[in-house]
Chains A and B, each alone.
Chain A
Amino acid sequence: MDNISIEQSERAPGVDFNFENSTFSLKGESYPEDVTAFYGPLLDGLEKHFEDLKGTKVSFTFDLVYFNSSTAKILMGLFDMLDEAAEDNDVTVTWNYEVDDDNMEEMGEEFGEDLEKATFILNEVAIP
């Protein structure tokens, strides 16, 4: 699968999906005009990638500072997909939040607590 790299914009996160190394990241703010149009191809790519993947180290890093409720619904599905992939792979999900951003910390906790098989890391980072 071709890697996906999308530059961060005002309303959509930067995307770095490296299928070769199974490292993935989303960074920035997310309130795209049309969440399905933005995330649809990304989720499709991941789903295909995980279909036959076994015994692989997978890393997914979230560096989000804000997302709207439509994005939250997408993230919930993404966490489910990652936990499913963790049945056959070594999946680590890292959720970075800025110092003192209680809301993003809480969101990370809420999404992370549902992971049963994937390893979850909640990580406080300095404000850039």
Chain B
Amino acid sequence: MLARDMYDFRDELNEKGIIFCYSGYITEAILSGIGSALKTKLALEHEERARTRSLFAVFVEQVQNVIRYSAERIPEGDGDESDELRYGVLIVGKSDDKYFVSCANLIAQDDVARLNKNLDKIQSLDAEGLKVLFKQTLKGETPEGSKGAGVGFVDIARRASHGFEFDFTKVDDTHSYFCLKAYV
């Protein structure tokens, strides 16, 4: 029964083209480990260098978003960021000859509108528009609430040769669940 259940689970992932699936607390060490396995897998399959790099870049930005921004964390509330864990789901797969990186995590309800607007804008831009926004963001002050350059989503959009999708679903009065799936 034990093995059968797990085999069925594995089958289900396989059918969806899932190469890696991780659900849990995500750390920089996990980013390094999965990232390195991903690179090795693509190298073994003789995937093009440029495509491997783009997929890897999208993977890094997505995972760092969970590590930095997931609202599901221990300890709860604002505390010392050097000693905390943030929860998220990370999936890397390939279907219809397109790789995808999908990440999902809890976010504060108050952040939904801003994030939605930001992503809508990024999604509406063509390559030239993304290039301009990328540079503008790099040159500007780091946006409030951002721990990185605030340019991660723009970078994802530039690298995702087959675009990206995103979605929110309300979980309770104070939180929503956020998912972004990018195709390379």
Chain B residue numbers with a CB within 8 Å of A127 are 49
- Contact status of A33 and B61, CB under 8 A, knowing A69-B149, A101-B53: no
Nearest-neighbour CB distance to chain A for B66, whole angstroms, equals 14
Q: Which of A17-25, A70-78, A88-96 contacts B (4 or more CB under 8 A)?
A: A70-78
Chain A residue numbers with a CB within 8 Å of B49 are 98, 100-101, 127
- Contact status of A73 and B149, CB under 8 A, knowing A65-B53, A100-B49, A103-B159: yes
Chain A residue numbers with a CB within 8 Å of B53 are 65-66, 101, 103
Nearest-neighbour CB distance to chain B for A125, whole angstroms, equals 14
- Contact status of A31 and B50, CB under 8 A, knowing A69-B155, A103-B159: no
Determine the main DSSP class of A at the interface with B.
mixed
Residue tally, chain B, CB below 8 Å to A = 25
Complex Cα distance, B134 from A100, in Å, reads 22
Chain A residue numbers with a CB within 8 Å of B50 are 100-103
A124 is an interface residue with CB less than 8 A from chain B: no
The digit string for B11-55, where 1 denotes a CB below 8 A from any CB of A, is: 000000000000000001000100010000000000001100110
A110 is an interface residue with CB less than 8 A from chain B: yes
Interface residues on A, range: 20 to 34
Chain B residue numbers with a CB within 8 Å of A33 are 28
User: How many Cβ-Cβ contacts under 8 Å join chain A to chain B?
Assistant: 56
User: Which residue of the partner chain B has the closest CB to A70?
Assistant: B148
Q: Are A66 and B56 in contact (CB under 8 A)?
A: yes
Complex Cα distance, B60 from A100, in Å, reads 22
B64 is an interface residue with CB less than 8 A from chain A: yes
Q: Are B138 and A73 in contact (CB under 8 A)?
A: yes
Nearest-neighbour CB distance to chain B for A55, whole angstroms, equals 29
Q: Are A110 and B64 in contact (CB under 8 A)?
A: no
B139 is an interface residue with CB less than 8 A from chain A: yes
| A residues with CB within 8 A of B | 10-11, 31, 33, 65-66, 68-70, 72-73, 76, 98, 100-103, 106, 110, 127
Q: Sorted from nearest, which 9 A-B pairs have the closest CB atoms?
A: A73-B149, A69-B155, A33-B28, A76-B138, A70-B148, A69-B151, A69-B152, A69-B149, A68-B60
